[in-house]
């Protein structure tokens, strides 16, 4: 007996140790009470524009979080009746159900069945935290965690987590998202029958589809209604009325995103992922789970104007070109609608649609759309010739071809996405905030963002940096530079390099610095760069953020690569009196609780948050801006670029009828054409070219192709903007000069004519042309009584200055 007692005691100890080991193993890596208190379900991040309106969201799970008090009471009661009627009585585990499940699972050991469990709502919350693996060890971990959850949260908090966390089909997580996915309205607007239906979905949403499994779904819904009556939540009359209601759901549709600002929002997503991470594993404030509220700087009015201008510009360039064939093909058997939906085809314009050819009759086609509807594409509406052949597109189309089309009367007409592309960025020169961004024709099929990712040669748009550097090193706008053939000896291996003007134009002899930039003369630019020093030019380009370039003369003509974003910001800094700017697309980020976790402008501002005015001067943000260019030089450069628009290569912009400065650019080939410019309050840059650079055609220039795109944008963007002149910084003297010679003049005043003989020119102190004489009396070549010449300083004093 003693021996048996010893063996029995030892066996119990072993069993106890084994049970303890099992529990210890199961408890590993489970969150403790402190970690549970910080738990929050994954929520989509929402993107807002400059006005606070929603323009997009980042989500992989359709979820809209509701607080417990926002969830309809009857909906809570429906879930309790369907899932866990003793929820408010138990401590996280249903022991009666566990005992019944134990016997079932013992039987499954011999029959090979799956283990089952008596999961309470609390256990289902625990399951969402540790995974859905069907094993006994997972069930044990789930039970332990359920007890911890009950110790950490109130019953109402547990229900709130559960009703916002559960998957209910149609990519809907939580009752609010499910209500909108199935019935097209929020949870507080659905009726009792619809609430009961949502309550049957947690275990197997596909089993109770309102479309394919309607009868089964109605039967299960009615069972839940019966349980609600049995639990005293509804009356017999309410049950009968709800059971008599048919189960009708809205069609299952994917979440739609706003088409405008696609490239902008994608750039925001990449920026946020680099800062906060992608999923919940990367932290509480991840992009796809943190429920962030992102305030961006995108201005929808400017964004739409930029997109329309760029797309129209692409199509103008492509007009009349041959059809290149279908951009995609799919099988047209069962399920062709889903395959068409996923086909990557550019539709660009809002009225373009993606369609697949279902059948042919001669050159006429019957086409189908993603919603299953069909239409007609007659041969006359697809008459472009197939590239390299005499066959029309209508004849070449075949079943399975996916093409963009547009409505034309009672039929549809074939369209073709342009092969040429480009990018555009619009920036506020006072703050560096990016107001609009276009990265191509259609972000949904062309994810490559040409505004930020494409490195292109800026061509002549780089010349203002050369001239600005020159004016910082002894040159003035009136300095005389020879426009004549210019050759330099590079090295023994490279030999001599001779430059030439665009189009091989002959030299014009001695001309002013202003004329050289207005007419974009290559020979004058390289001569200026050589005499200034290319080391100084590339240093200025680096300070403006364009890039790090070798100190070779070809860089002066825009041979170094940069991006549209960098070029826009460089010009914005020049327009901003040479003050440094950092381009940004995000103003502020808040977490799910409203706490600001990122702010673009972190300057201290004592008194800015005061409740009321205290009689002191208006508080202003502190900090002193960093200068990347002498403000006087920056204004001189802007003033020269005003001449580019008034008399030079950018005269198309005169149609905007306002103070405007800009510069055209055309690279060798030409492979890219540019236009950069703006007003006192807005700067934008754009380029047009092929992704794999090739010649655009000899007739293509920045002033004839890129400038009209900017003009289209400007007409919409600046329609109601005030016509403000560029602000002259302290230390600049405005002097009257002869426009062609650069010499100082007296007795004659500038006019508003673009090609007036006398203009106001901007000089730094003691750099303006010296006085050479006085104006004689009656006429040219006649001596007359001398008279006092009114000085520029006197004029400015009497008129209050020049603005």
The model's pLDDT over 584-594, given as tens digits with 9 standing for 90+, comes to: 999 999 999 89
| Catalytic residue check, 212 | no
Confidence (pLDDT) at 115: 54
pLDDT at 153: 86
* pLDDT, tens digit, 9 for 90 and up, residues 368-414: 999 899 999 999 999 999 999 999 999 999 999 999 999 999 999 99
CA distance 49 to 586: 9
Percent of the chain with pLDDT over 70: 87
83 is catalytic: yes
604 pLDDT more than 90: no
Q: What pLDDT is recorded for position 624? A: 84
Per-residue H/E/C for 261-278: CHHHHHHHHHHHHHHHCC
Phi, psi of 620 (to 5 degrees): -135, 150
- The CA distance from 307 to 261, in Å, is 8
Residues 393 and 378: beta-carbon distance below 8 Å: no
Q: Output the six-digit token pair for 442.
A: 């259609």
CB 718 within 8 A of CB 653: no
The mean pLDDT of 26-43, rounded to a whole number, is: 65
Candidate list 45, 179, 261, 460, residue with the active-site label:
460
Task: Tell whether the model's pLDDT for residue 472 goes beyond 50.
Answer: yes
- pLDDT range class, residue 776, cuts 50, 70, 90: very low
pLDDT of residue 12: 76
Q: Which of 83, 176, 427, 518 is catalytic?
A: 83
Q: Phi then psi for 701, rounded to 5 degrees?
A: -140, 160
Alpha-carbon gap, residue 686 to 437, rounded angstroms: 10
Going by the DSSP 8-state scheme, the letter that residue 167 receives in this structure is B
Please report the pLDDT score of residue 311 as a whole number: 96
Identify which has the larger pLDDT, 40 or 314. 314
The reported pLDDT for the residue numbered 230 is 95
Query: Residue 123: what pLDDT?
Result: 82
Mean pLDDT of 742-758: 92
Q: Tell me the average pLDDT across 550-568.
A: 95
Does pLDDT of 791 surpass 90?
no
Q: How far apart are CA 107 and CA 75, in angstroms?
A: 36
| Better pLDDT: 96 or 664 | 664
Token digits of residue 587: 């103003």
pLDDT in the model for residue 788:
47
Helices (H) and strands (E) in the chain — how many of each?
23, 24
pLDDT at position 259 over 60: no
Residues 726-747, mean pLDDT to the nearest whole number: 94
CB–CB of 747/736 below 8 Å? no
Give the contacts of 113 (CB within 8 A, at least 6 positions apart): 107
Residue 297 CA from chain centroid, whole number: 10
The answer, yes or no, to whether residue 22 has pLDDT greater than 70, is no
d(CA 431, CA 601): 9
N- to C-terminal Cα separation, the chain: 113
Whole-number pLDDT of residue 136: 56
Q: Give the pTM.
A: 0.83
pLDDT tens digits for range 64-113: 888 899 999 999 999 999 988 888 888 878 676 666 666 666 666 556 55
Alpha helix locations (H) across 589-648?
Answer: 631-647
When comparing pLDDT for 92 and 707, which is higher? 707
Residues paired with 481 in a beta bridge: 511
């Amino acid at each position: 007996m003693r021996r048996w007692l010893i063996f029995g005691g030892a066996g119990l100890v072993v069993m106890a140790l084994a049970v303890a080991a099992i529990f210890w193993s199961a408890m590993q890596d489970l969150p403790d009470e402190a970690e549970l208190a910080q738990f929050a379900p994954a929520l989509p991040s929402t993107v807002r524009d400059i006005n606070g309106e929603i323009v997009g969201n980042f989500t992989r799970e359709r979820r809209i979080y509701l607080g417990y008090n926002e969830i309809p009471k009857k909906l809570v009661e429906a879930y309790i009746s369907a899932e866990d009627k003793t929820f408010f009585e138990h401590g996280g585990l249903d022991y009666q159900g566990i005992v019944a499940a134990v016997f079932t699972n013992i039987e499954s050991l011999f029959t090979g069945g799956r283990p089952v469990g008596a999961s309470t709502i609390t256990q289902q919350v625990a399951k969402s935290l540790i995974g859905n693996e069907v094993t006994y060890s997972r069930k044990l971990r789930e039970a332990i965690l359920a007890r911890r959850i009950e110790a950490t949260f109130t019953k109402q908090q547990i229900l709130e987590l559960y009703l916002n966390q559960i998957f209910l089909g149609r990519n809907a997580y939580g009752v609010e998202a499910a209500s909108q996915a199935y019935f097209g309205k929020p949870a507080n607007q659905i009726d009792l029958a619809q609430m009961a239906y949502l309550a049957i979905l947690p275990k197997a949403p596909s089993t109770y589809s309102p479309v394919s499994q309607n009868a089964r779904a109605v039967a299960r819904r009615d069972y839940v209604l019966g349980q609600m009556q049995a639990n005293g939540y509804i009356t017999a009359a309410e049950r009968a009325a709800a059971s008599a209601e048919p189960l009708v759901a809205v069609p299952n549709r994917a979440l739609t995103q706003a088409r405008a600002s696609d490239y902008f929002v994608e750039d925001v997503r990449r920026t946020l992922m680099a800062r906060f991470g992608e999923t919940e594993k990367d932290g509480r404030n991840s992009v796809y789970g943190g429920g962030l509220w992102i305030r961006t700087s995108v201005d929808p009015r400017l964004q739409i104007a930029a997109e329309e201008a760029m797309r129209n510009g692409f199509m103008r360039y492509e007009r009349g070109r041959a059809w290149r064939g279908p951009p995609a093909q799919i099988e047209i058997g069962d399920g062709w609608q889903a395959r068409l939906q996923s086909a990557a085809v550019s539709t660009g314009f809002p009225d373009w649609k993606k369609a697949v050819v279902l059948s042919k009759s001669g050159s006429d086609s019957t086409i189908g759309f993603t919603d299953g509807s069909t239409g007609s594409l007659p041969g006359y509406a697809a008459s472009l010739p197939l590239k390299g052949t005499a066959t029309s597109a209508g004849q070449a189309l075949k079943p399975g071809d996916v093409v963009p089309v547009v409505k034309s009367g009672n039929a549809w007409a074939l369209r073709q996405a342009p092969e040429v592309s480009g990018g555009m960025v619009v920036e506020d020169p006072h703050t560096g905030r990016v107001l609009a961004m276009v990265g191509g024709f259609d972000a949904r099929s062309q994810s490559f963002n040409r505004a930020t990712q494409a490195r292109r040669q800026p061509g002549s748009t780089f010349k203002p940096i050369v001239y600005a550097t020159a004016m910082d090193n002894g040159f003035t706008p009136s300095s005389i530079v020879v426009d004549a053939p210019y050759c330099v000896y590079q090295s023994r291996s490279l030999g001599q390099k001779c430059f030439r003007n665009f189009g091989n134009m002959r030299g014009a002899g001695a001309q002013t610095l202003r004329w050289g930039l207005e007419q974009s003369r290559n020979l004058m630019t390289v001569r200026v760069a050589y005499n200034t020093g290319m080391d100084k030019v590339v240093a200025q380009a680096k300070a403006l953020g364009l890039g790090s370039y070798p100190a070779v003369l070809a860089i002066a003509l825009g041979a170094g690569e940069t991006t549209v974003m960098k070029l826009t910001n460089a010009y914005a800094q020049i327009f901003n009196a040479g003050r440094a700017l950092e381009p940004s697309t995000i103003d502020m980020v808040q977490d799910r609780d409203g706490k600001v976790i990122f702010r673009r402008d972190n300057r201290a501002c004592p008194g800015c948050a005061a409740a009321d005015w205290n009689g002191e001067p208006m508080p202003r943000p502190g900090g002193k801006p960093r200068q990347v260019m002498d403000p006087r030089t920056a204004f001189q450069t802007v003033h020269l670029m005003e001449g580019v628009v008034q008399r030079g290569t950018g005269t198309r912009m005169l149609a905007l009828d306002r103070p405007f400065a800009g510069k055209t650019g055309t690279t060798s080939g030409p492979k890219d054409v540019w236009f950069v410019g703006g007003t006192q309050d807005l700067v934008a840059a754009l380029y047009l070219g092929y992704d794999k650079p090739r010649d655009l055609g000899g007739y293509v220039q920045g002033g004839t192709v890129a400038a009209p795109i900017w003009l289209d944008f400007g007409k919409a963007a600046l329609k109601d903007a005030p016509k403000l002149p560029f602000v002259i910084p302290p230390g600049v003297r405005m002097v009257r000069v002869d426009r062609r010679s650069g010499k100082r003049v007296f007795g004659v005043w500038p006019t508003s004519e673009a090609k007036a003989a006398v203009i106001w020119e901007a000089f730094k102190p003691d750099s303006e042309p010296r006085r050479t004489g006085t104006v004689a009396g009656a006429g040219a070549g006649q001596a007359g009584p001398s008279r006092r010449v009114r000085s520029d300083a006197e004029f400015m004093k009497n008129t209050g200055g020049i603005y």
